Homo-oligomer: A and B are copies of this chain.
Amino acid sequence: MQSKTSIKLSSNMEDYLEAIVMLKKSKGVARVRDISRLINVKTPSVSGALSMLAKNGLVVHERYGYAELTAKGQKLAKKIKKRHDTLSKFLTEILNIEPKIAAEDACKMEHAISPYTFGKLTKFLEFVKSSPAKGKPHWLKGFGYYVKTGKRPKCVLKDGGAK
* Partner-B contacts on A (CB < 8 A): 91, 94-97, 101-102, 104-105, 108-109, 111-114, 116-117, 120-121, 123-124, 126-127, 130-134, 137-139, 141-143, 146-147, 152, 155-163
Contacts and interface: CB of A to CB of B under 8 A. Distances in A.
A141 B127 contact: no
Nearest to A163: B141
A143 B120 CA distance: 10
A120 B148 CA distance: 11
A120 B97 contact: yes
A105 B112 contact: yes
25 contacts: A95-B117, A95-B120, A95-B121, A95-B124, A97-B116, A97-B120, A101-B114, A101-B117, A104-B114, A105-B113, A105-B114, A111-B112, A123-B143, A123-B147, A126-B146, A130-B146, A131-B159, A132-B152, A132-B155, A132-B158, A137-B139, A138-B162, A139-B159, A156-B162, A157-B157
